[in-house]
Structure 1
Amino acid sequence: MDSEAHLVQAATKEQADGASNQLEVRVRNMTLSTQVAAVARHEDAKKALPTLKNAVWGGVKAMLPGRSRSASTTVTKYILRDVSAVFRPGTMTLVLGQPGSGKSSLLKALSGRLANKKAIQVEGETTYNGIPSETLRGRVPQFAAYVAQRDAHFPTLTVEETLEFAHACAKNAAPSEKMGARRPSDVINDLGLAHCSDTVVGDAMIRGVSGGERKRVTIGEMSFGHRSLECFDEISTGLDSATTFDIVSAQRNRVKTLQKTVITALLQPSPEVFALFDDLMILNDGAIVVIVIGLVYATLFYQFDPKNVQVVMGTIFPALLFFALGQSTRMPLYIEARDVFYKQRAANMYRASSYVVANSLSQVPLSLIEVIVFGSLVYWLCGFVGTAGAFINFLVLLFLTNLAFAAWFFLLASISPDIHVAEPLGLLTTLFYILFGGFIITQHAIPDYFSWVYWANPISWGLRALAVNQYRQPMFDVDVYDGINYRVMVTSIFFLFMGYNPPASTIPSGYEWLYHVAPPKYTFAILTSIVFGTDDCSSPANASDFGCRVLRDTPPTVPQGIKVHEYLKTVFKVDRDELIFNTVVVLGYIVFFRVLALAALRYINHQKK
């Protein structure tokens, strides 16, 4: 049945009911448990097996006085653990989980089909439109349909006869005879069974309709009456993906037009089937699986080496990408809200600027929560700089990036005619943002005709800002590379060959070039010449200068009676006559180093890497 036929059926149903029956199901802390037998001792395992011998012998022992009735004890087996959820009308919820995870038990509990309620302890609260399940008691199956995994039908009845019989049994629940007379034909057309309506259903022994058609018959059989809640348990068993898609697609059309509440459990749905559902619930061992993306992501880069720049940048880039891709899922919401805006704006309810500002402000709380949860886990588990200021900067930059992409996808939704144009456009622009964000393709490798994408890219700005926030901290203000402190090494070389220790006269000839290029050599010579040097010791006026005094207690290698200025000239190669030359050289070094710094700032840009 097409969408127009669904609308006609919905209008007829509303006219018959007086109002459309919508059902909201709320589950809070639902826990299902049962007592199962367990062997107390290992040697009693064979005796506890359900064989004929053990059954007879167990009955005999039970009648004998003073004999133990059983070698087993009971333990509590939890089927569901603290499950909480809300299933709203007009939505389809997909329940995923491995076999034994509790999917079938959940659907049976919601539809009132628990087989042995005395053996199963039910805890928690389940409400239907606010009415507790205890108040409704056995009336839940009247408005909740349950389609089991296996199809069970009378094989000799035709499809039409099966549906007419089910409709006749549920006819008393219909408030309108007029509406009741239409339902079998509507269901046949709705589920695409018109071509096989006169074919017997069949089974393993009698040839009848196909497996997919038999599954449709089961769905139609359970849909008669006021079934506002429909639970489908593993309806894809034995069906190919195309048939499963057709069945789920037909369900979706009915859900959207009749505002039903549908819960479907599947084992391995295809991507096309998965996309038809509105909500997702994942069960494992009876409990809902909650995936904290930040925790999963942080454990991949747990306590990385901060000196490994590739790993650090590889951690920052996907973090930005997480928020960029996360905002793209809101475009369908923007498109739907735009229609409401057009209607209200045409009625002059508010300005367009008010709508944009309100939309922008509405993004702040959710974005803030996402950034705090995700950013806190990633920052501290990955091992970024452990300072409060850097951490706050990290969160602020992620927050701004999140809002930037929210604004971008809001813009795409505003300029696109429909979602079929907005989504491909968003995918294309996101691809460009990722490629030219400065990580996959570095800035200097980006072609000139695409360089504008780099500078107009929120990811590139966020990536550079987070990298600066990480590596501009004091702990990285060092000159050590591969275990070598090059600043200390260069300084040590300059002071080693400045001509003091060892003295200039003892420096090997192969290292004299270091002596002549070491800047401290010239400042040392200037200061030594001023303090100890002299122009002429023969003058009586200079006789008291330090340079004219005779050295005492000199070593044997030094001539006796040598004066200080002669010793400096011979051993340290410090000559008073070179004072002006040394001063000019020091000034030359100052100018030379400044020119080199100017050239480095002009032609070297470390932000390219």
Structure 2
Amino acid sequence: MWPFASRPAKEAIEKRTNLVSYSTDIEDGVVTETHLMNNDVKNFTWKGVTVTVKDSKTGAPKVILDNIDGVVQAGEILALMGPSGCGKTSLLNVLARRDVSVAAKVEGTVLINGNVASTSSFREMTSYVEQEDALIGSLTVMETMYFAARLSHKNTLTKAARIRRISTLIASFGLTNQANNIIGTPIRKGISGGQKRRLSVISQLITAPKILFLDEPTSGLDSTASSEVISFVKNAAKKNNLIVICSIHQPSTTTFQLFDKLLLLSGGRSHYFGSVAGIQDHFNSLNQPLPLHMNPAEFLLDLMNTDFARGHEDAEARLSNIHRGWLNSELAKDLDTQITSAQSNNLPLPDSTSSTRSFFIDVATLVHRSFIKSYRDVVAYGIRIAMYFGLAVMMGTVWLRMDYDQRSIQPVINAIFFGGAFMSFMAVAYVPAFLEDRANFVKERHNGLYGATAFMVSNFIIGLPYQFLISILFSIIAYWLSNFRPTADGFFLWVMWLFLDLVAAESLVVLVSSIFPIFVVALALTAFANGLWMCVDGFMVTPAILNVFYKYVFSYIDYQSYVFKGMMVNQFAESTYTCGSKCECMYVTPLAAECKIAGQGVLDQYDYNTGNTGKWVGILLGIVLGYRMLGTLVLMVKKH
């Protein structure tokens, strides 16, 4: 693990920068590293937290949190526990300054060291670990930590200190043997569920938060893995003076006893706040003794739950008595005293440690991470490349070696439409990969790592080489097999139009998936939009006779229409076709006397003029920019 002597030894090495101090202990070959601020977070308090929403059925005000108080000291880990629907997730979101629900009214005070922290300062001091592991499955454990550290604005660690801290955290959370293992994708097995939860936690600890919020960190884990996760978190809290607030559903006895404090909720009201060790005495005083040989957490949850109680009215009355008993208890009075003392001491907030790293470094880091993800994750681009390869072979063999006789004109037009329209239509395969990236962005944006613009720019950049590769591979097969205009400039113009087509199509996927981040909905709407673009791009109905509504509302913003125009001009502007043995020309052009058709005659039927390539490319780029800007705006506005 570490190249240190195995004999017991203990050293302390102090390294100081202008803002941050590091203390490293070496014992039995294991390194532990503590990150200390000049002014630590000593306490986190909240008083009178009340949340009111509108009832979805009646429209009347509905209280989901009612006058909740609490205080957590540095180094403590608090469990928010209660039956489903008790309000623990809502409380966690209020404390973490996240949206509770649409149009929720939030009242009460939440203070750090007795002060109201600004939004930027609060983000520097806190991190939030989601219930669902929003990890990039194709990265390794070490890479996940590396990029989390690189993206963090919350510390000013040097590169050497950052690498040291990554290794320390990985070792401290028992992931050393998995450091070079990938997290896991749908087609590649990775680390276990418990290891993923630990990684989710340390990927936030690397940003050196002073307050850590955990939403159901043991969800989906067995009792052993659950206690393992909480044990590692508890050790980190003690060693780093970290405040941890954790919502939890039904912990095992071992896991439950690891918490320092418990806030017990039911129906949005407090029924206990205090040490886990003090639970038995308090509930004994209420004539609700904890049974022997029973998980205390399970007993408390049964006590708080009225949904499945046989005697519902008796259960409600019992719960009311427990609530009143809590309000009148010495513990409640002591809590009020602690909160008053903490809020009146008004200790200074920690010094700001935000780095001055530029937007461009954020983008470069995200591009680097996305590059690793893209070449490892065959779902993102590997399957798509194989799909487009198959499409190219199919197209090239169906329209095999079309000759330059007039009977081939319509099939060639059909091939041009198919090549452009279906290439963009197949971009819907990008939906699941983008939704995964978006989920990771939402998590990291909430933790203050980077914004929507950096995410959108990096997403655009990383897609370009793959879109160009797809365009080249598709064209090498389909273009020459179909016998389109056999010149170098004709080939590369075709590649250009196909590339712009894919760029626009993927940008449409990004916009729709940003607005509707649900796989089935995003897939259906993107497919519908592409179907609409096919109908009005000029192939199905020529622009001259297209319905006025569709022409002026949709056709001018249809990126496929400009691709179709460009490909048509590329193929026909300089081509000629023979009129057959009977010299009966389908299109009347100046070459009719020679029993030939000038390709311009075909373009005239569609009212397409030459010399507009630059304008059409500019419009296409404008559409791409519009999609991306709208997508960025959506991500800025949407919170989830």
TM range (shorter): 0.3 to 0.5
Q: TM-score, normalised by structure 2?
A: 0.38
Q: TM-score, normalised by structure 1?
A: 0.40
Greater Cα radius of gyration, structure 1 or 2: 1
